[in-house]
């Protein structure tokens, strides 16, 4: 038999095996066609035998479609596969919860939905909810409710698993080790934008692209609204009460002005300054102090460099343009003052002689200042505040309450265009030049809005231009160095003084001192850094010279050691004296009032009406040390507390009076009552003005403009906006945004609307910022555009796709070049022998991305 098979195996294969293969292929292909047909005719999904309704699959499909519609780079899986995976995961989560006996009741699900759909008014927005369901592809409330329930059920199941899972010690250790494990990666970038100038698109290509992606350019529904607005602040002048009305209102509202429990205290501060003159020490003590604190007196590593700088700061014009989009979002909450300053910095360890020298220095500077130009010149030359010295000490507008009290008091007192006398603060001696004031409600400056708006402004073009400018400058240097140059390709070459970590290398690099230092500290003398990317500027720097860190000897730092030892001993004497005084008082040998005379102190300092630390203090007591306030409410009347440490020094305190909670008389709180009365009355007047217009709409054919004109109201008209999006001219979380959704036809009018003063807090009883009445002026329904209306957007999108293809092609070419270099290597690449990716990028003019440390362990998705 075997002999016959060997002799006739060709015939066997021909007559038996090949027919079997053909039959198998036919059956397999048929099954695949059936599967595809079933997918296309999908009416339901079954997960572990449990049917998932088609409606849930359609809702998931719509969500996926919206998510990926505008993406230039599509996901690897089809939208159908992604939607199916999403539905299956939700079903598995629900089954897991059911198996564990976990279920989220309807009440909880509805509470979550209400929280999601509650607008700034604090009420459930039914119209907004219906709009959301339509836009999100949910057929009904029941469908969306089921989706939310499955999410909550999954959370219940996961919490159950977390609470019952007990990992072993080995598992915990492996997880900890994996979280610590990192890889440092270098990259080469191929941004699509860099290839835009290499691509173009013909009119025919644009039209074809438009037809293929027409839905992407659909114009959304847009609308404009007419509105009237009344701010209570505009009616304050009409709300001033006579004394009889004020007295009557106060009696009805007296409970609101209840004065909480208060304490009066007297306090002595045993500060180190009061004992400095009494300190004596020997030469041996001085040397011992040096030896014990020698590490403080090591001179750090220092550098000297030359560099080029190109600014990457967004110009004020761009900031102002962004502010103009929502001007009401950029109004000052409080009054503000604009100042420049010159700072001569002091430290707590400065001796009296040093302080006197610094005060004399700033007085000499003041004598040279007559004009603002003089002030700017002196600030650039002498101010120790390097963050603004280069800008002439300009701090811009600063709202009340944001400056240290000593500085702020003078800034609001002096006249604009004048220089102050020297002002002492915790930072040192200041000279202040005031150049402007602003009332609350006025537009803030671009400098104040800058940090808030920078994330919304694309600074990529600025950074790209700076990088190109620096690369051109370096290329033009050739074999020369920055050390020999004063100007390169139109850029000035700057030279630093000696600087160390934390110092400002140069006024041009003051705001970017840390990246500048980090780059310089990694190279040797004569070497040049890569481009240093700072916050305000980009740099290229060459290290000219370097001094290693060294230990300073005793004689070099004698005066500093003396100052430190004097401060240390003075603090010890102050604490000892405070404790001695407390012991004498408690023993009956010394009266509290006699402390000042015995120890040469000033005071005592008296604080009237301190309130419980958890409440709000009177305005005059808001700067009282927190420790004094705390102890005032744990000490009985007549008792002495302390000594305890405060910011000023060791403190002794006596509670001189205790006042229980009480109802005030009008004269006790007259100013506060008058202010609240005016605010309430002005709010009522503003509300009534808007209501009068609303009541008269029927008389004027529901025309807001006609009714408002009768009541001498100006009617404003917004720019176009999409329903649900912020209304132009209003804060993004204003009630107007949500009310506009309900205006579905032209001429539809809202009810009375109101915004509280603090839009972050939606409590009903808060003071109101404004009252509004809206009317839909024009509504444009969604539509597909004509080609001519979106030709530029189509051109940009098509060019970007073409540029992305070029970028991918270039990246593929780079990958192949790298692979070829690796294959040519005589030995495998390893940690000790690797491809120099940076050199490769520079050789081929690619964009090198600096090394980044990437954690490999489990990470919580951001």
Q: Is residue 273 part of a domain?
A: yes
Q: What is the DSSP letter of 302?
A: E
Same structural domain for residues 642 and 719? Answer: no
Rounded Cα distance between 779 and 722, Å, is 10
Q: How many domains does the chain have?
A: 6
Domain that holds residue 212: 186-216+787-855
Give the CATH number for residue 69: 1.10.4030
Same structural domain for residues 210 and 139? Answer: no
Give the CATH number for residue 373: 3.10.50.40
Please report the pLDDT score of residue 123 as a whole number: 45
Same structural domain for residues 775 and 680? Answer: yes
Give the CATH number for residue 289: 3.10.50
**Which DSSP string do the residues of 615-663 spell out, in sequence order?**
SPPPGGGTTS-HHHHHHHTSS-TT-EEEEEEETTEEEEEEEEEEE--BP
- At 208, the pLDDT band (50, 70, 90 cuts) reads very high
Q: Is residue 452 part of a domain?
A: no
150-193: pLDDT as tens digits = 777 777 766 665 555 556 667 666 666 665 666 677 888 888 88
Q: Which of 662, 696, 722 is the last residue in one of the domains?
A: 662
Please report the pLDDT score of residue 346 as a whole number: 86
Q: For the purposes of burial, counting CB atoms within 10 Å of the CB of 753, is it exposed (0-12), middle (13-18) or buried (19 or more)?
A: buried
C-alpha distances in Å from residue 603, one per residue of 72, 266, 623, 694: 74, 9, 18, 63
Mean pLDDT of 400-429: 88
Rounded Cα distance between 62 and 137, Å, is 6
Same structural domain for residues 772 and 831? Answer: no
Q: Is 772 helix (H, G, I), strand (E, B) or coil?
A: strand
Q: Is residue 101 part of a domain?
A: yes
Rounded Cα distance between 856 and 835, Å, is 22
- At 762, the pLDDT band (50, 70, 90 cuts) reads very low
**Which DSSP string do the residues of 657-713 spell out, in sequence order?**
EEE--BPPPGGGSHHHHHHHHHHHHHHHHHHHHHHHHHHTTGGGTT-HHHHHHHTTP
Q: Is residue 861 part of a domain?
A: no
| Res 24 pLDDT > 50 | no
**Which DSSP string do the residues of 541-561 spell out, in sequence order?**
EEEEEEE--EEPPGGGGHHHH
- At 121, the pLDDT band (50, 70, 90 cuts) reads very low
Rounded Cα distance between 252 and 259, Å, is 16
434-460: pLDDT as tens digits = 998 888 778 888 888 887 787 778 888
77-110: pLDDT as tens digits = 677 777 777 777 777 766 766 666 666 777 677 7
Same structural domain for residues 693 and 728? Answer: yes
Same structural domain for residues 799 and 847? Answer: yes
| Res 405 pLDDT > 80 | yes
Q: Which of 383, 413, 442 is the last residue in one of the domains?
A: 442
- At 423, the pLDDT band (50, 70, 90 cuts) reads very high
Contacts of 146 (CB under 8 A, 6+ apart): 56
Q: Which of 780, 797, 830 is the last residue in one of the domains?
A: 780
Same structural domain for residues 657 and 757? Answer: no
- At 361, the pLDDT band (50, 70, 90 cuts) reads very high
Inter-residue contact 249 to 548 (CB < 8 Å): no
Rounded Cα distance between 305 and 540, Å, is 10
Q: What is the mean pLDDT of the chain?
A: 81
Q: Is residue 76 part of a domain?
A: yes
Q: Is residue 536 part of a domain?
A: no
247-294: pLDDT as tens digits = 888 888 888 888 889 999 999 999 888 888 888 999 999 999 989 888
Q: Is residue 528 part of a domain?
A: no
Same structural domain for residues 434 and 402? Answer: yes
801-854: pLDDT as tens digits = 998 899 899 999 988 888 887 777 655 544 444 578 888 888 888 888 766 666
Please report the pLDDT score of residue 310 as a whole number: 93
Contacts of 13 (CB under 8 A, 6+ apart): none
Same structural domain for residues 565 and 633? Answer: yes
Scanning the structure block, which residue is given the tokens 């691509």?
199
Q: Is residue 316 part of a domain?
A: no
Scanning the structure block, which residue is given the tokens 């915790």?
426
Same structural domain for residues 122 and 102? Answer: yes
Same structural domain for residues 337 and 433? Answer: yes
Same structural domain for residues 773 and 674? Answer: yes
């Amino acid at each position: 038999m075997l002999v016959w098979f060997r002799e006739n195996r060709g015939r066997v294969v021909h007559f038996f095996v090949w027919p079997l293969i053909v039959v198998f292929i036919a059956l397999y292909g048929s099954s695949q066609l059936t599967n595809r047909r079933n997918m296309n005719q999908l009416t339901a999904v079954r997960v572990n035998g449990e049917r998932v309704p088609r409606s849930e699959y359609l809702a998931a499909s719509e969500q996926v479609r919206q998510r990926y519609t505008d993406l230039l780079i599509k996901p690897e899986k089809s939208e159908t596969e992604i939607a199916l995976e999403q539905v299956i995961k939700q079903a598995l989560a629900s089954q897991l919860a059911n198996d564990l006996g976990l279920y989220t009741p309807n009440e909880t699900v509805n509470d979550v939905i209400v929280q999601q759909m509650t607008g700034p008014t604090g009420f459930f927005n039914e119209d907004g909810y219906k709009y959301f369901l339509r836009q999100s592809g949910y057929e009904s409330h029941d469908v969306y409710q089921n989706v939310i329930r499955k999410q909550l059920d999954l959370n219940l199941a996961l919490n159950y698993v977390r609470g019952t899972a007990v990992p072993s010690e080995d598992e915990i250790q492996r997880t900890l080790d994996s979280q610590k494990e990192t890889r440092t990666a270098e990259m080469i970038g191929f941004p699509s934008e860099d290839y835009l100038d290499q691509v173009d698109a013909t009119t025919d290509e644009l039209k074809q692209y438009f037809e293929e992606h027409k839905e992407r350019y659909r114009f959304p529904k847009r609308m404009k609204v007419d509105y009237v607005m009344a701010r209570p602040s505009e009616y304050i002048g009409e709300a001033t009460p006579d004394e009889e009305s004020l007295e009557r209102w106060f009696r009805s509202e007296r409970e609101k002005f209840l004065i909480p429990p208060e304490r009066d205290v007297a306090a002595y501060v045993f500060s180190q300054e009061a004992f400095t003159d009494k300190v004596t020490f020997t030469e041996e003590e001085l040397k011992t102090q040096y030896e014990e604190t020698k590490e403080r007196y090591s001179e750090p590593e220092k550098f000297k460099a030359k560099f080029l700088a190109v600014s990457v700061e967004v110009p004020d014009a761009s900031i102002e343009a962004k502010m103009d989009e929502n001007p009401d979002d950029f109004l000052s909450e409080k009054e503000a003052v604009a100042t420049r300053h010159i700072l001569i910095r002091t430290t707590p360890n400065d001796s009296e002689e040093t302080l006197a020298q610094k005060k004399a220095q700033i007085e000499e500077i003041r004598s040279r200042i007559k004009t603002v130009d003089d002030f700017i010149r002196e600030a650039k030359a002498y101010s120790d505040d390097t963050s603004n010295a280069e800008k002439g000490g300009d701090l811009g507008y600063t709202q009340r309450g944001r400056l240290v009290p000593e500085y702020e008091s003078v800034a609001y007192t002096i006249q604009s265009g004048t220089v102050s006398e020297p002002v002492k603060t915790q930072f040192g001696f200041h000279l202040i030049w005031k150049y402007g004031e602003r009332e609350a409600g006025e537009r803030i400056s671009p400098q104040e809005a800058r940090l808030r708006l920078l994330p919304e402004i694309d600074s990529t073009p600025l950074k790209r231009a700076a990088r190109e400018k620096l690369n051109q400058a370096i290329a033009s240097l050739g074999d020369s160095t920055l050390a020999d140059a004063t100007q390169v390709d139109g850029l000035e070459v700057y030279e630093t003084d000696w600087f160390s970590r934390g110092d400002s290398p140069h006024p041009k690099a003051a705001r970017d001192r840390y990246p500048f230092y980090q780059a310089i500290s990694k190279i040797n003398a004569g070497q040049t850094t890569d481009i240093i990317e700072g916050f305000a500027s980009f740099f290229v720097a060459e290290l000219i010279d370097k001094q290693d860190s060294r230990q300073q000897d005793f004689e070099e730092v004698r005066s500093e050691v003396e100052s430190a030892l004097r401060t240390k001993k003075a603090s010890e004497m102050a604490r000892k004296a405070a404790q001695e005084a407390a012991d004498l008082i408690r023993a009956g040998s010394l009266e509290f009032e006699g402390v000042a005379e015995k120890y040469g102190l000033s005071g005592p300092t008296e604080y009237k009406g301190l309130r419980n630390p958890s409440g709000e203090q009177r305005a005059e007591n808001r700067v009282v040390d927190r420790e004094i306030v705390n102890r005032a409410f744990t000490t009985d009347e007549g008792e002495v507390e302390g000594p305890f440490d405060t910011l000023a020094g060791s403190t002794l305190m006596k509670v001189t009076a205790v006042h229980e909670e009480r109802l005030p008389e009008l004269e006790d709180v007259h100013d506060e009552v008058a202010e609240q009365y005016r605010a309430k009355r002005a709010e009522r007047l503003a509300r009534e003005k808007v209501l009068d217009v609303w009541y008269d709409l029927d008389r004027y054919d529901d025309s807001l403009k006609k009714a408002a004109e009768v009541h001498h109201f100006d009617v404003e008209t917004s720019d176009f906006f999409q329903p649900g999006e912020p209304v132009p001219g209003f804060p993004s979380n204003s009630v107007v945004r949500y009310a506009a959704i309900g205006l579905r036809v032209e001429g539809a009018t809202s009810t009375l609307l109101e915004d509280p003063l603090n839009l972050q807090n939606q409590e009903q009883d808060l003071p109101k910022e404004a009252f509004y009445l809206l009317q839909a002026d024009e509504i444009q329904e969604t539509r597909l555009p004509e080609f001519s209306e979106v030709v530029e957007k189509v051109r940009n999108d098509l060019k970007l796709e073409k540029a992305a293809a070029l970028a991918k092609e270039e990246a593929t070419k780079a990958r192949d070049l790298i692979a070829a270099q690796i294959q040519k290597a005589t030995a495998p690449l390893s940690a000790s022998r690797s491809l120099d990716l940076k050199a490769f990028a520079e050789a081929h003019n690619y964009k090198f991305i600096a090394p980044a440390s990437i954690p490999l362990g489990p990470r919580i998705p951001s």
